[in-house]
Amino acid sequence: MDRLGEEEAEVTLPAAGTRSVGEGPAVVVLDHGSGNVRSVVRALEAAGARVELTADRDRALAADGLVVPGVGAFATTARQVRAVGGDRIIERRLAGGRPVLGICVGLQIMFSSGTEHGEHSRGLDQWPGEVTRIQAPVVPHMGWNSVAPAAESRLFAGIEQERFYFVHSYAARSWEMDPIGPLTPPAVTWAQHGGDRFIAAVENGALTATQFHPEKSGAAGAQLLRNWLETLPRQSPAGTGHTPGAVEHTSGAAGHTSSAGA
């Protein structure tokens, strides 16, 4: 569960760089009823993206990047995403190597399942593993915290020592995906709260997600979003759907891999 709501930290985002918003990549924020969508939209715009808030299937599939935000309970968020066809949109984008970014509960539902208050719920099963309650003296974990980025991380380039804003009581506390042949393994970033270690971010080919809120993480969060935007392949000018640059995603739970041609 993510408790971000009325207690949201109001952080002023720095202005985007010299590139105007109109020149940036096209990003759809999936509108499935999450409470933090407006701040996500504003943060992405400040980072240089052209942003649309919608659940329209064709728009979500055509965008350079798709963002799946989430606050509240695991079961509720998974149900809301499925209700707008978001699970099928995400699966189809990943099958074509089209980037997806999950935020907070948007990260959690990418795992196979979650257990909150004794209720076991099915996730989107992109990664094996279960989301459970943080084992710490003080829960929720709310506030700024440092992370330990994976050595190969592109998401945290230039911000490896920065702190990010967390508000959650549940997390993925282990990484269970086995290596698959010669494929590059996912880059997993970790954090700790009260002595309990949990996943703070995952970079798995086309699928990226953060447990913290980049849109509430000030300058560090703004740079992280810019880093993600810089990884987005852009649709060809002819609108043929060809994606320059290959992006490979490994779905350990489903046991398959997907890639887009260069």
In a domain, 63, yes or no: yes
Predicted model pTM: 0.85
Condensed to tens digits (0 to 9), the pLDDT of residues 70-120 reads 999 999 999 999 999 999 999 999 999 999 999 999 999 999 999 999 999
Residue (of 37, 41, 81) closest to 57 by Cα position: 81
In a domain, 259, yes or no: no
Residue numbers annotated as active site: 104, 213, 215
Structure confidence at residue 34 (pLDDT): 85
What ranges in the chain are assigned the alpha helix state H?
A: 37-46, 57-62, 74-83, 86-95, 105-108, 218-230
> What CATH number did the domain enclosing 36 receive?
3.40.50.880
- Is residue 245 pLDDT above 50, yes or no? no
Condensed to tens digits (0 to 9), the pLDDT of residues 138-147 reads 999 999 999 9
As given in the structure block, the two tokens for residue 186 are 């996912």
Condensed to tens digits (0 to 9), the pLDDT of residues 172-223 reads 999 999 888 777 899 999 999 999 999 999 999 999 999 999 999 999 999 9
As given in the structure block, the two tokens for residue 195 are 């002595």
Structural domain range at position 196: 21-237
Query: Distance (Å, rounded) from C-alpha 50 to C-alpha 232?
Result: 13
What ranges in 188-261 are assigned the alpha helix state H?
A: 218-230
In a domain, 152, yes or no: yes
In a domain, 255, yes or no: no
In a domain, 113, yes or no: yes
As given in the structure block, the two tokens for residue 163 are 């702190």
In a domain, 39, yes or no: yes
In a domain, 252, yes or no: no
Cis before 137 (ω within 30): no
Query: Distance (Å, rounded) from C-alpha 108 to C-alpha 62?
Result: 24
Structure confidence at residue 116 (pLDDT): 95
Total domain count, the chain: 1
In a domain, 138, yes or no: yes
Query: Distance (Å, rounded) from C-alpha 140 to C-alpha 170?
Result: 8
Structure confidence at residue 234 (pLDDT): 76
* Amino acid sitting at position 215: E
